[in-house]
Structure 1
Amino acid sequence: MSGPQAGAEQWSEELSARASSHSRFVLGLDVGSTVIRCHVYDRTARVRGSSAQKVENVYPQPGWVEIDPDVLWAQFVAVIKDAVKAAGVQMNQIVGLGISTQRATFITWNKKTGHHFHNFISWQDLRAAELIKSWNNSLVMKLLHGACRVLHFFSRSKRMLTVSRFNFTTQHVTLRLVWILQNLSEFELTEQPSVFKVQKAVEEDNCCFGTIDSWLLYKLTKGSSYATDYSNASTTGFFDPFGMCWSSLVATLVSIPLSILPPVKDTSHNFGSVDEEIFGVPIPVVALVGDQQSAMFGECCFQKGDVKLTMGTGTFLDINTGNRPQNANGGFYPLIGWKIGQEVVCLAEGNAGDTGTAIIWAQKLDLFTDAAETEKMALSLEDSEGVYFVPSFNGLQAPLNDPCACASFMGLKHSTSKHHLVRAILESIAFRNKQLYDMMQREIQIPVTNIRADGGVCNNAFVMQMTSDLINESIDKPAHFDMSCLGAATLAGLAIGFWADKEELLKLRQSETVFKPQKKWQEYEMNMENWVKAVKRSMNWYNKT
């Protein structure tokens, strides 16, 4: 045998031999919205060393959320070096690297020089809100929806049904990228004497687009590798999960050439090796994955009907829908979970934008010193005394989809204490979980098999127990909750034979606590109805029209 296939097999055999030794390790990295983490894992999936740094967001204007790519790159390299050092191992003992990243945060850069044109535009950024509203109300979208409804009536095509219900959101890359091309005149190329804009670079085929995973891969390999994976691609709004390719329809609709989008590869894949100058050895990059899909994999939600509830910066509820994407009804979005060889696993996802961010905000106001205190503060009261909190610093996502909603407290009284405020914040997280779960039950006709939680907020037993009560389901909290890191590491490990298969990963998974329903939903019903009223009064607050 000769050619690319033989080369790939030889590469796989070499890495399997390297990975078989007990003195070898894999790295799992998670570039989240608030923290960059790196864990060094051994073959028992035990963390041998760790490092973390806070992600520094930049807020140039109200509603704008950016990340400085140079700062992010320096932090990324530093956490890898620090984690390996903390593990007491050498770089040449690292046999594979998996990278999980916050999704739909993007950047563009000069194809010839590699210099970026602007900061990363975060998935939390709202600068395109008016453009999105205009597009969703446009005649073009109405005609598209109508035509696809007719086509679905005759063809019964799931793809046509999904397109007939498709609307742009602020979390899609699509119209945020359009906004960049139309408006960022202040972000110009300064590395060349002739100054020109991003739009001109696109026109001259000199522009690379990438989410964080693509850009990190490009930097790690010093430009020799440029790609993304199916999980990250499917969250951009440019991807067709039914055709498993970039959508020419969406690209044509918003006048973005497909040529600027990276090639899409398997989630567990040989993406290339880190340039030797960076860490002293050429570490293989063998997994790229979106953070929620990575957490889903780390939680071993491998079966159809398995559900993952992540409560980190935001809340993300995902259900495994098998090997076919589900129709999007405006609430839950069809995604690719991962692709490994011939195996494709699809998910449906709904999310709420402000979970951990609300707790961090309250901490900055000195309502408490440490987030761990909030559980006791909430439990010290019988109720919130009619105080309700609307977690909407970044607008409200499904089922309300209002980027103009404001965060607010309602029902404040002379007797309101900081304990009431904290309890109201925690209750709002559980209420949002209930909203998302009910919407999932309505839209996705798949029986739920297991519910597993992760993310920093899952350490709050008050939120976990209240959520279990509200949805009347048991929720399994793992012993280790950095699931995005673990998912990236296990996907990388599977690529190189560090772990044999998913059955081995299931045996390694450990539960810490299973929260079971203790109260009936009816005991919360009136409070939730009042909370929903508060949410409705917060909507459309920032509307300029």
Structure 2
Amino acid sequence: MKALLAIDQGTTSTRAIVFDAEGRKLGVAQRELPQSYPQPGWVEHDAQRIWQDTLTCAREALAAAKLQARQIASLGITNQRETTVIWERASGTPIHPAIVWQDRRTSAFCQQHQERSDWLNARTGLLLDPYFSATKIAWLLDQVPGARARAENGELAFGTIDSWLLWNLTGGRLHATDASNASRTALFNIATQQWDEELLAFFRVPRALLPEVRDCAADYGRTQTALLGGEIAIGGIAGDQQAATIGQACFAPGMIKSTYGTGCFMVLNTGPEFRRSRSRLLSTVAYRLNGQTTYALEGSIFVAGAAVQWLRDAMHLIRAAGETENLAKSIPDTQGVYLVPAFTGLGAPYWDPEARGAIFGLTRDSGIAHIVRAALESVAYQTRDLLQAMAQDAVPPTELRVDGGMVVNDWLTQCLADLLQLPVVRPQTVETTALGAAFLAGLTAGVYDSLDDIAKRWQSQARFVPQMATEKSNAAYEGWRKAVARVRSGA
């Protein structure tokens, strides 16, 4: 029993992957997840759809691997973080669609209370921003009729997506989360590793609503027998970026990874020290194992792969994401075209929820290839924004490990190396988010002895070194900074 099942529930898709102990894929299943936009800046998911897709993918991945439940040593869960679900404990029915991490409906509250941001940061490592779960919870309790009273009476349960899936997998027997997901709610004190009573009072969130917090590798019960053809132990949970950090074996302080999915997230391991950022990055829990917390600095970009989705679904400039590489390669440069994808505001290091997207530098000669290439370059520019902020808080890294669906694009990965002026390393397994969840489950099940045991299994697939002259890279980046300045809400 060395096979491991990972559930990777993301913003735009749900996947399940069966891995062997060496991290090789044995079976994969995936479902796209639609998003709804009820009002400008609002983003929602159907939580029941997420659960049904998760169950379907898990069954199909097991079938693809030709394995049965009894042959799986453990199951790990990784998830889109901050996305908020509140459901009835008695029925398991959500009281409202899930509010997605990208949602900006609570911007006004955050702007009104910015004087509390430093106070919040000292406890949580976060900023007062609609991104995090706390204001989403408060909005639901205030806007759904009767919800606040029911929450105070213990009739309702809150969870990020991991907690929602765990509740369903265990048949409602376990309402829990892990320290990494808890650290993204803005209700969890990452120094004391406890739900913070002062934060609960400020956001008016009843304690009875919250899940128990456990280590990332821990006993999370077992799946109901009927769901997957037998019970499977659940042994690991981590938010998607923390799981990717584990999947990239970034276990030593100073190691850094960047994941390119719907958004882009850069995480720098800072070791056992809770280090507050001086450059508007987030301090967060990287992972907690055996009661010992490892911290990280994180930079969050709201739109990376989502820009490619926008090109495909809203603008109809491409039919499939795979077309972007050849289009980008078909021209020598964008001829000064910049796309700033601030569709739901700007994340780190700007934290400007009111900024909006724009394309600059269009001329009569501009075409589809210029806009597509500018969208891909925006991912590299935003990554450089994060890297420069991290260099102010810590020792600059010697290389960047990258993963996620976007980095299978060789042109984009080389573009990252050129515009960052830093070697970029792509691993053998780019599904490192799911792999990290499998590693955590394997730790609990005894498949792996230690983090060192896991690190031995990490392998590089390709290394991209800068080929662009530093002066040209810097000039291109300066054009990006000017474009960003023009979309800022104070411009």
CA distance 1:422–1:325, shift in 2 (3 Å): same
Whether 2:4 is the aligned partner of 1:26: answer yes
Task: Please tell me whether the aligned partners of residues 309 and 316 of structure 1 are also in contact (alpha carbons under 8 angstroms).
Answer: yes
CA distance in 2, matches of 1:96, 1:164: 31
Helix, strand or coil for the counterpart of 1:337? Answer: strand
Task: Please tell me whether the aligned partners of residues 26 and 42 of structure 1 are also in contact (alpha carbons under 8 angstroms).
Answer: yes
Q: Give the drift of 1:209.
A: 1.0
Q: Corresponding residue for 1:8? A: none
Task: Please tell me whether the aligned partners of residues 4 and 73 of structure 2 are also in contact (alpha carbons under 8 angstroms).
Answer: yes
Q: Give the drift of 1:374.
A: 1.7
- Cα deviations by residue, 1:312-337 (Å, 9 ceiling, x for unpaired): 10010100000122113362111111
CA distance in 1, matches of 2:44, 2:258: 26
Q: Corresponding residue for 1:283? A: 232
1:78 aligned to 50, 53, 56, which one? 56
Q: TM-score, normalised by structure 2?
A: 0.95
Quick check: which has more Rg, 1 or 2? 1
Q: Corresponding residue for 1:221? A: 170
Q: TM-score, normalised by structure 1?
A: 0.86
CA distance in 2, matches of 1:357, 1:447: 28
CA distance in 2, matches of 1:284, 1:163: 33
Worse-superposed segment, 46-55 or 257-266 = 257-266
CA distance 1:278–1:306, shift in 2 (3 Å): same
What is the Cα-based RMSD across aligned positions, in Å? 2.0
Q: Give the drift of 1:505.
A: 2.0
- Alignment-mate amino acid for residue 83 of structure 1: A
Q: Corresponding residue for 1:170? A: 130
1:250 aligned to 188, 193, 199, which one? 199
Q: Give the drift of 1:447.
A: 4.8
2:179 aligned to 200, 206, 230, which one? 230
CA distance in 2, matches of 1:462, 1:67: 32
Task: Please tell me whether the aligned partners of residues 339 and 357 of structure 2 are also in contact (alpha carbons under 8 angstroms).
Answer: yes
CA distance in 2, matches of 1:343, 1:333: 20
Within-5 A mapping of 1:139-150: 141=116, 145=118
Whether 2:460 is the aligned partner of 1:511: answer yes
Q: Corresponding residue for 1:480? A: 429
Within-5 A mapping of 1:114-263: 114-136=92-114, 141=116, 145=118, 162=122, 167-185=127-145, 197-263=146-212
- Cα deviations by residue, 1:462-506 (Å, 9 ceiling, x for unpaired): 322222223322111012211111000011011111223223322
Worse-superposed segment, 65-74 or 464-473 = 464-473
Whether 2:227 is the aligned partner of 1:267: answer no
Paired positions, count: 490
Q: Corresponding residue for 1:35? A: 13
Q: Give the drift of 1:261.
A: 1.2
Q: Corresponding residue for 2:329? A: 379
Whether 2:356 is the aligned partner of 1:406: answer yes
Q: Give the drift of 1:523.
A: 0.7
CA distance in 1, matches of 2:449, 2:126: 40
1:355 aligned to 286, 301, 304, which one? 304
Task: Please tell me whether the aligned partners of residues 123 and 189 of structure 2 are also in contact (alpha carbons under 8 angstroms).
Answer: no
Task: Please tell me whether the aligned partners of residues 162 and 328 of structure 1 are also in contact (alpha carbons under 8 angstroms).
Answer: no
CA distance in 2, matches of 1:223, 1:165: 31
Task: Please tell me whether the aligned partners of residues 221 and 233 of structure 2 are also in contact (alpha carbons under 8 angstroms).
Answer: yes
Task: Please tell me whether the aligned partners of residues 493 and 499 of structure 1 are also in contact (alpha carbons under 8 angstroms).
Answer: yes
Helix, strand or coil for the counterpart of 1:57? Answer: coil
Helix, strand or coil for the counterpart of 1:117? Answer: coil
Task: Please tell me whether the aligned partners of residues 295 and 485 of structure 1 are also in contact (alpha carbons under 8 angstroms).
Answer: yes
Q: Corresponding residue for 2:35? A: 57
CA distance 1:80–1:163, shift in 2 (3 Å): closer
- Cα deviations by residue, 1:176-224 (Å, 9 ceiling, x for unpaired): 2112222234xxxxxxxxxxx2111123222211111111111111111
Task: Please tell me whether the aligned partners of residues 124 and 187 of structure 2 are also in contact (alpha carbons under 8 angstroms).
Answer: no
Helix, strand or coil for the counterpart of 1:273? Answer: coil
Task: Please tell me whether the aligned partners of residues 259 and 403 of structure 2 are also in contact (alpha carbons under 8 angstroms).
Answer: yes
Q: Corresponding residue for 2:344? A: 394
Worse-superposed segment, 197-206 or 73-82 = 197-206
- Alignment-mate amino acid for residue 361 of structure 2: G
Task: Please tell me whether the aligned partners of residues 77 and 437 of structure 2 are also in contact (alpha carbons under 8 angstroms).
Answer: yes
Worse-superposed segment, 460-469 or 230-239 = 460-469
In structure 1, the gaps of 5 or more residues are: 1-18, 149-159, 186-196
Task: Please tell me whether the aligned partners of residues 86 and 157 of structure 2 are also in contact (alpha carbons under 8 angstroms).
Answer: yes
Q: Give the drift of 1:450.
A: 4.4
Q: Corresponding residue for 1:343? A: 292
CA distance 1:27–1:164, shift in 2 (3 Å): closer
Q: Give the drift of 1:278.
A: 1.5
CA distance 1:447–1:423, shift in 2 (3 Å): closer
Q: Give the drift of 1:308.
A: 0.6
Helix, strand or coil for the counterpart of 1:178? Answer: helix
- Cα deviations by residue, 1:445-468 (Å, 9 ceiling, x for unpaired): 245254210011112223222222
- Alignment-mate amino acid for residue 422 of structure 1: V
Worse-superposed segment, 321-330 or 265-274 = 321-330
Task: Please tell me whether the aligned partners of residues 73 and 232 of structure 2 are also in contact (alpha carbons under 8 angstroms).
Answer: yes
Helix, strand or coil for the counterpart of 1:448? Answer: coil
Give the percent of matched residue pairs that are identical in Structure 1 and Structure 2.
Answer: 33
- Cα deviations by residue, 1:321-363 (Å, 9 ceiling, x for unpaired): 0012211336211111111114321111011100000011112
In structure 2, the gaps of 5 or more residues are: none
Q: Give the drift of 1:165.
A: 8.9
Q: Corresponding residue for 1:99? A: 77
- Alignment-mate amino acid for residue 184 of structure 1: V
Whether 2:87 is the aligned partner of 1:109: answer yes
Task: Please tell me whether the aligned partners of residues 4 and 18 of structure 2 are also in contact (alpha carbons under 8 angstroms).
Answer: yes
Task: Please tell me whether the aligned partners of residues 162 and 327 of structure 1 are also in contact (alpha carbons under 8 angstroms).
Answer: yes
Helix, strand or coil for the counterpart of 2:219? Answer: strand
Q: Give the drift of 1:371.
A: 2.2
